[in-house]
Amino acid sequence: MFQLLKNRDFLLSLSIVLGLVAGGGAKWTRDLVIPALAVVMTVSVMGIPGSIFRSPQALIMPTVIGLIFNYGIHGGTVLALSRLFIQEEALRAGFVIVTAVPPAVAVIPFSILLKGDGPFSLIATVGCYLGALILMPVITFGLLGSGYADEGKLVWIMIELILGPLLVSRWLRYSGWSNRVEPYKGTVTNWGFFLVTYTIVGLNRSVFLNQPWSILPVFLVALVAIFLLGFLIEKIGRLLGVDPAKRISLILLGTHKNTGLGAGLALTLFNERTALPATVSTVFMIVYVIWLSLRQRRQHKKNPAANEFAEKFIFHRVFKKVPGFRRKPF
Residue 330 within a domain: no
Residue 327 within a domain: no
3-class SS of residue 103: strand
- Rounded mean pLDDT of 103-126? 82
Phi and psi at 101, nearest 5°, equal -80, 155
Q: Which long-range contacts (CB under 8 A, 24 or more apart) does 248-252 make?
A: 248/111, 248/114, 248/115, 248/116, 248/117, 248/292, 249/107, 249/111, 249/116, 249/117, 249/118, 249/120, 249/121, 249/124, 250/65, 250/69, 251/292, 252/103, 252/107, 252/110, 252/111, 252/114, 252/116, 252/121
- Rounded mean pLDDT of 200-227? 87
Q: Is 120 exposed, middle or buried (0-12, 13-18, 19+ CB in 10 A)?
A: buried
What confidence tier does 51 reach under pLDDT thresholds 50, 70, 90? Answer: low
Residue 315 pLDDT = 45
Whole-structure pTM value: 0.77
Distance of CA 306 to the CA centre of its chain: 23
| Angle, helices 89-100/216-223, rounded to nearest 10 degrees | 20
53: CATH: 1.20.1530.20
pLDDT above 70 covers a percentage of the chain that reads: 85
Residue 33 within a domain: yes
What confidence tier does 305 reach under pLDDT thresholds 50, 70, 90? Answer: very low
- How high does pLDDT run on average in the chain? 82
Phi and psi at 265, nearest 5°, equal -65, -45
Contact of 110 with 289, CB cutoff 8 Å:
yes
Residues with Cβ within 8 Å of 115's Cβ and at least 6 positions away in sequence, in order, are 244, 245, 248, 296, 300
Residue 326 within a domain: no
146: pLDDT strictly greater than 60: yes
308: pLDDT strictly greater than 50: no
314: pLDDT strictly greater than 70: no
210: pLDDT strictly greater than 60: yes
Residue ranges making up the domain that contains 186 = 4-320
Residue 328 within a domain: no
Residue 101 pLDDT = 93
- How many folded domains does the chain comprise? 1
pLDDT, tens digit, 9 for 90 and up, residues 260-286:
888 888 888 888 889 899 988 988 887
208: pLDDT strictly greater than 90: no
Residue 208 within a domain: yes
3-class SS of residue 257: strand
What confidence tier does 52 reach under pLDDT thresholds 50, 70, 90? Answer: low
CA distance 79 to 82: 5
Residue 329 within a domain: no
- Better pLDDT: 120 or 321: 120
What confidence tier does 327 reach under pLDDT thresholds 50, 70, 90? Answer: very low
Residues with Cβ within 8 Å of 11's Cβ and at least 6 positions away in sequence, in order, are 5, 190, 191, 193, 194
- Rounded mean pLDDT of 226-230? 95
Ranking 150-164, 234-248, 283-297, 303-317 by mean pLDDT, the lowest is: 303-317
Residue 311 pLDDT = 43
Exposed e or buried b per residue across 190-209, where buried means at least 16 C-beta atoms within 10 angstroms of its C-beta: bbbbbbbbbbbbbbbbeebe
Residue 266 within a domain: yes
Report the length, in residues, of the chain. 330
Query: Which residues face 257 on adjacent strands?
Result: 103
229: pLDDT strictly greater than 70: yes
Residue 227 pLDDT = 95
Residue 31 pLDDT = 85
Residue 2 pLDDT = 67
What confidence tier does 71 reach under pLDDT thresholds 50, 70, 90? Answer: very high
